[in-house]
Structure 1
Amino acid sequence: MKALKGALNISPIDFKTRHAIKEKFWPPTTLPTYQQDSLDWEPYFRYYDRQCQAALVDRGRFVMAKTHQDILDLIHGFDNGLPRESIKESLKLKLSTRGRSNEDEILDGAIDLAARLYLMVNVAVDTRMISVQTRLQWATGDLKQCLQAHFGEPHVLSDSGLRLEPTFTAANFEYIAGIRVVPTDNLADHLRLMDRDDTVAVFCNVSFLRRNCSTVLPDGLAAETLQTLSLLFPLGDVQTRRWLEKHATSQGLDTALSFCNPLKLTDRQFEEFAFWHDRLVILKQAFNQSRPPTISQWWYDRRNGVQWYTFWVAIVVLILTIFFGLVQSIEGALQVYKAFHST
């Protein structure tokens, strides 16, 4: 396809190229029309552009892939289950000059870039890459095996005594618990607590997850991630709507977050989460253990109804006591004044 022959370092990506990338990377799905219409691809292509610009520094001397078609060719290898070694050997045949000192680096750079663009997972075999993001070091075997090994780790933490109540939302993380929500473009960092547990990373790209029909991602991972987003950004919740209105533009959030599918009660159980179970447990524990440090957060914190009413009744009583005490003091002062100035 002609549109994919364009260079990776051309920014911004034009409409035809964007359309071709979506159609070829992830063939059309059977999503309902209303969901197709609500997809927002702007966050993904900002990510695409950042990844290409970062990889193609110094005129791309460290990455062999130069066009969008080069990325698509590598993706076909991922989809066909080819091991990294085979993909690398096939790519080596296309080198114009063999035996270069940085041959492995430019081959690995192209493979890793294609994997990141295809899956929005920080895949990087180069251990020298410095990043605050979780990194998947895919060195051997096929990509699906690497992803399965990372995301398919067995549960370690117990969810005994924990419940995912309706108050467990991204908006309440900030309004009640003081846990800042930051969007991440790395799926491997979804729901990860950072910065002494006062920040949580959330993979907010709903549109990418709904469209992605890759067989490389572990079965059910995309659907379960969407389920966690429905949990954190419930449709119709007033506080969530206000939070999204406040952060959507400044953080470049996917507008489809406002249209997450509602969850049934059975979908809100910990056992429904195979991939994100332990991170949800950690996040829930942090949320439960938090205590509002400000009056405004006390107002929003209605996790314990009895405690909330008791606290605010006490505040009202205190205010009324101070008010009436002040009134009595003023009244007493006026009486004394009149007694000395009766004439």
Structure 2
Amino acid sequence: MNMLNSALNKTSVDWATRRAIIEHMWPTTISSGLRKDDLDLEPYFRYYTRQCHDALVDHGQHVLARTHQDIIDIACRFEDQNSRDTIKEGLRSKLLKPERPNVDNILDGAIDLAARLHLMINISYAKLFISGQLQLSWESGSLKDLLSNHFSEAVRLGNDGIKLDPTFTATNLESIAGIQIKPTDNLVDHLRLIDKEDKVVAIFHHASFLNRQTGTVLPQGLKEETLRTLSLLFPQHDRQTRHWLKKQSGRFDDMLHRCDPIRLEDRQIEKFHFWHDRLVMLKQAFDQSRPATMSQWWFDRRNGVQWYTFWISVLVLLLTIIFGIVQSIEGALQVYKAYHPTQPVSR
């Protein structure tokens, strides 16, 4: 049985079907097969299942795709640089009743679903609100052109004084700056500060998905630069990072702690183009933060002199309080003894 002909709306996708999807969606000549422990694609298939479930509501009345093979066939057209109109007309020819009501909606729904599953980007023909995510509206041209236009925006923010030093990690963003890390399944939301107080940042954590990407639709260099930002924020050999990831209970791709270590020359902010401005804003939010709790004071060692000065002051204050309490107790005992002298024991 062809695993790819199974229905999209199954509650779970077994390993054999997953392997078939991966090998057909992103074919590679590097190896003949994919071992189960090569990559952590469980987070991707949670996203895959959720997207299929959401798209196939109302018994799939608004989406033409029904099987995994349908999705892969459309994804192949993305890689062939077909325009949206060309893909749409090709799908229209497969309809048994091409003049049925809302035919354009079900064709657009299938194309959008395939694009989201192929790239993990919130893409839609119609402008919709989905979980506060950024959304790319694809109305015409090829998918590659859409992404090239989106990611070709010129760098706007200056980077004077911005240094991506080793303290700039995801764990320190939380423990020092109080910036919450929120995992996202939408690549275009990566590194975006998503609240008004700049205290929540979205991180596209799907390192396994990126490592498997072999297509040509994403702009050249985007995959590699995104992986470098993950290496920057989740350093492989950092014990604090590994401990933090273990406590996240599967919220993040397990391959995050196995990303290749980032070299010093690749740590320079000028080396980043696609994510330059968001890195600058995130680093500024980190640098401008000031400890608000005792735990943040403890972890904030960006300024060694300030850290030692603060904790020495705290130690002196504690010792002063302790000695003051001891002296107060001694004084109280002396006063008590003065008014209540010890009576000699009679024999």
Q: Is the 8 A contact 1:75 1:118 kept in 2?
A: yes
Q: Is the 8 A contact 1:248 1:254 kept in 2?
A: no
1:90 Cα deviation from its structure 2 partner: 0.8
In structure 1, list runs of 5 or more residues that go unmatched: none
- The percent of aligned pairs where both chains have the same amino acid is 59
Instruction: Give 1:216's aligned residue.
Output: 217
SS of corresponding position for 1:94: coil
After superposition, the Cα gap between the structure-2 partners of 1:132 and 1:87, relative to the gap in structure 1 and judged at 3 Å, is same
Instruction: Give 2:324's aligned residue.
Output: 325
Q: Is the 8 A contact 2:192 2:202 kept in 1?
A: yes
1:131 Cα deviation from its structure 2 partner: 3.7
Instruction: Give 1:19's aligned residue.
Output: 19
After superposition, the Cα gap between the structure-2 partners of 1:307 and 1:29, relative to the gap in structure 1 and judged at 3 Å, is farther
1:292 Cα deviation from its structure 2 partner: 1.7
Q: Is the 8 A contact 1:235 1:262 kept in 2?
A: yes
Instruction: Give 1:137's aligned residue.
Output: 137
1:319 is aligned with what amino acid? L
Q: Is the 8 A contact 1:173 1:180 kept in 2?
A: yes
SS of corresponding position for 2:193: strand
Whole-Å separation in 2 of the counterparts to 1:265 and 1:23: 34
SS of corresponding position for 2:334: helix
Q: Mapping of 1:90-169 within 5 angstroms?
A: 90-169=90-169
TM-score calculated relative to the size of structure 2 = 0.94
1:12 Cα deviation from its structure 2 partner: 0.9
Instruction: Give 2:8's aligned residue.
Output: 8
SS of corresponding position for 2:137: coil
SS of corresponding position for 2:135: coil
After superposition, the Cα gap between the structure-2 partners of 1:34 and 1:257, relative to the gap in structure 1 and judged at 3 Å, is farther
Q: Is the 8 A contact 2:19 2:34 kept in 1?
A: no
Does 1:80 find its partner at 2:93? Answer: no
Q: Mapping of 1:39-54 within 5 angstroms?
A: 39-54=39-54
After superposition, the Cα gap between the structure-2 partners of 1:35 and 1:15, relative to the gap in structure 1 and judged at 3 Å, is closer
> Whose radius of gyration is greater, 1 or 2?
2
Does 1:202 find its partner at 2:219? Answer: no
Per-residue displacement from partner, 1:182-233 (whole Å, max 9, x unpaired)? 1101101000111221111101111000010110000011111110000010
In structure 2, list runs of 5 or more residues that go unmatched: 343-347
Does 1:287 find its partner at 2:286? Answer: yes
Whole-Å separation in 2 of the counterparts to 1:38 and 1:169: 25
Whole-Å separation in 1 of the counterparts to 2:227 and 2:29: 16
1:96 Cα deviation from its structure 2 partner: 1.2
1:167 Cα deviation from its structure 2 partner: 0.9
1:130 Cα deviation from its structure 2 partner: 4.1
Structure 1 stretch 13-22 or stretch 220-229: which is displaced more?
A: 13-22
SS of corresponding position for 1:200: strand
After superposition, the Cα gap between the structure-2 partners of 1:37 and 1:153, relative to the gap in structure 1 and judged at 3 Å, is same
2:334 is aligned with what amino acid? Q
Please tell me the root mean square deviation across aligned C-alpha atoms, in Å: 1.8
Whole-Å separation in 2 of the counterparts to 1:151 and 1:198: 25
1:17 Cα deviation from its structure 2 partner: 1.1
Whole-Å separation in 1 of the counterparts to 2:80 and 2:47: 25
Whole-Å separation in 2 of the counterparts to 1:229 and 1:62: 36
Structure 1 stretch 33-42 or stretch 77-86: which is displaced more?
A: 33-42
Whole-Å separation in 2 of the counterparts to 1:264 and 1:9: 43
Whole-Å separation in 1 of the counterparts to 2:90 and 2:51: 23
1:19 Cα deviation from its structure 2 partner: 0.8
Q: Is the 8 A contact 1:29 1:211 kept in 2?
A: no
2:151 is aligned with what amino acid? F
Instruction: Give 1:176's aligned residue.
Output: 176
2:140 is aligned with what amino acid? T
Instruction: Give 1:338's aligned residue.
Output: 337
Instruction: Give 1:266's aligned residue.
Output: 265
Q: Mapping of 1:54-73 within 5 angstroms?
A: 54-73=54-73
Whole-Å separation in 2 of the counterparts to 1:5 and 1:232: 40
SS of corresponding position for 1:181: strand
1:260 Cα deviation from its structure 2 partner: 1.5
Whole-Å separation in 2 of the counterparts to 1:221 and 1:35: 26
Per-residue displacement from partner, 1:101-121 (whole Å, max 9, x unpaired)? 311111110001000000001
SS of corresponding position for 1:160: coil
SS of corresponding position for 1:193: coil
Instruction: Give 1:311's aligned residue.
Output: 310
Instruction: Give 2:189's aligned residue.
Output: 189
Whole-Å separation in 1 of the counterparts to 2:246 and 2:138: 38
SS of corresponding position for 1:65: coil
1:41 Cα deviation from its structure 2 partner: 1.0
1:11 Cα deviation from its structure 2 partner: 2.2
SS of corresponding position for 1:163: coil
Q: Is the 8 A contact 1:235 1:261 kept in 2?
A: yes
Whole-Å separation in 2 of the counterparts to 1:213 and 1:184: 21
Runs of 4+ aligned residues of structure 1 deviating over 3 Å after TM superposition are 33-38, 128-131
Whole-Å separation in 2 of the counterparts to 1:267 and 1:127: 37
